[in-house]
Amino acid sequence: MIQKIALLQMDIAFADPVANRNKAEEMICEAVKGNPDVICLSETWNVGFFPKENLKDLADVDGQPTKELLGRLASKYKVNIVGGSVANRRGDKIYNTGFVFDREGKCIAEYDKIHGFSPSGEHTYFEGGSKLCTFELDGIKAGMIICYDMRFLELVRTLALDGIQILFIPAQWPHPRLKHWKTLAMARAIENQMFVAAINGVGTANDLKFCGNSMLIDPWGEILVNAGEDEKIVMAEADFSIVEDIRERINVFRDRKPEFYKL
């Protein structure tokens, strides 16, 4: 199966969820002109990463604004939407939550970011997630992690062992760590023999400048498209027969010897 995947590299307005929802809708409506099968957004696109003083007031409540918007657009355009993530308040706790919608607009998966980025204090503002996330889009098994999660290869390998063929990684990854962004995304694709859709933001938030370079990477580690550092929409096709082919040629999953691994 071949799927066309659209990556929405968005310049997020800091602490302005209304403006960001409007822009997300505009970009999705533009992206569907290219007839993608899947549209992907970046991390915390509702508020940016992340307004510490009034995060609780700005966050979605139970994901409702995001679910209404993305569910409506997915249903209207009959397109799958991997909705990046949003700041999301449930009860008295705030989560960094991703939502996934199928072509009928149904929310088929939710994921709370497990690893908060401790250097910025994310873990003190956002509650860490406790469940992994896999789902199917048009019969293709997929998984999601968020930004800093990518540094934890055990998490990604666990998803790969569960049979995913593509990993979605919404992020707000800043300079000067562009080399880390590219290298880690390529490594996760190569070592797990799967596609990686890494969707980053651009622009600034306080003293952070985000490095963009949203990418679709194939299981051989080839970058099929790269968005550079401007706000834009890019698309590329993922041929999922490649996954089966590489896993037959170089069967690292069969050749694993987990009895020797102490993780």
Does residue 211 have an active-site annotation?
Answer: no
CA-based angle 100:105:110, to the nearest 5?
25
Is 262 within the bounds of a domain? no
Q: Is 262 left (phi over 0), alpha (psi -120 to 50) or beta?
A: beta
Is 263 within the bounds of a domain? no
3-class DSSP state of 17: helix
- The reported pLDDT for the residue numbered 162 is 98
- Overall number of domains in the chain: 1
pLDDT along the chain (263 residues), means of 10: 97 98 98 98 98 97 98 98 98 98 98 97 98 98 98 98 98 98 98 98 94 98 98 98 96 96 85
Give the CATH number of the domain where residue 74 resides: 3.60.110.10
- The reported pLDDT for the residue numbered 206 is 86
Is 150 within the bounds of a domain? yes
Separation of alpha carbons 247 and 204, rounded Å: 40
Residue type at 181? W
Is 12 within the bounds of a domain? yes
Is 164 within the bounds of a domain? yes
- The reported pLDDT for the residue numbered 237 is 98
Separation of alpha carbons 219 and 196, rounded Å: 8
The DSSP bridge pattern shows strands 38-40 and 2-9 to be parallel
- The reported pLDDT for the residue numbered 110 is 98
Catalytic residue from among 40, 43, 122, 127:
43
144 contact partners, CB below 8 Å, separation of at least 6: 82, 98, 100, 109, 111, 133, 135, 167, 168, 169, 170
Pair 167, 158: CB distance under 8 Å: no
Pair 171, 214: CB distance under 8 Å: no
Residue type at 99? F
98 contact partners, CB below 8 Å, separation of at least 6: 82, 83, 84, 85, 86, 109, 110, 111, 112, 113, 133, 144, 146, 170
Domain that holds residue 217: 2-256
Count how many residues are written for the chain: 263
Rounded to 10 deg, the angle between the 64-77 and 17-31 helix axes is 10
- The reported pLDDT for the residue numbered 205 is 93
Is 37 within the bounds of a domain? yes
Catalytic residue from among 23, 40, 67, 113:
113
Catalytic residue from among 23, 40, 110, 147:
147
- The reported pLDDT for the residue numbered 94 is 98
- The reported pLDDT for the residue numbered 263 is 75
- The reported pLDDT for the residue numbered 262 is 86
Does residue 29 have an active-site annotation?
Answer: no
In this structure, what are the phi and psi dihedrals at residue 139, rounded to the nearest 5 degrees? 85, 0
Separation of alpha carbons 165 and 251, rounded Å: 14
Is 261 within the bounds of a domain? no
pTM of the model as a whole: 0.98
Does residue 113 have an active-site annotation?
Answer: yes
Per-residue DSSP letters for 216-248? EE-TTS-EEEE-TTSSEEEEEEEETHHHHHHHH
Separation of alpha carbons 170 and 234, rounded Å: 15
Is 227 within the bounds of a domain? yes
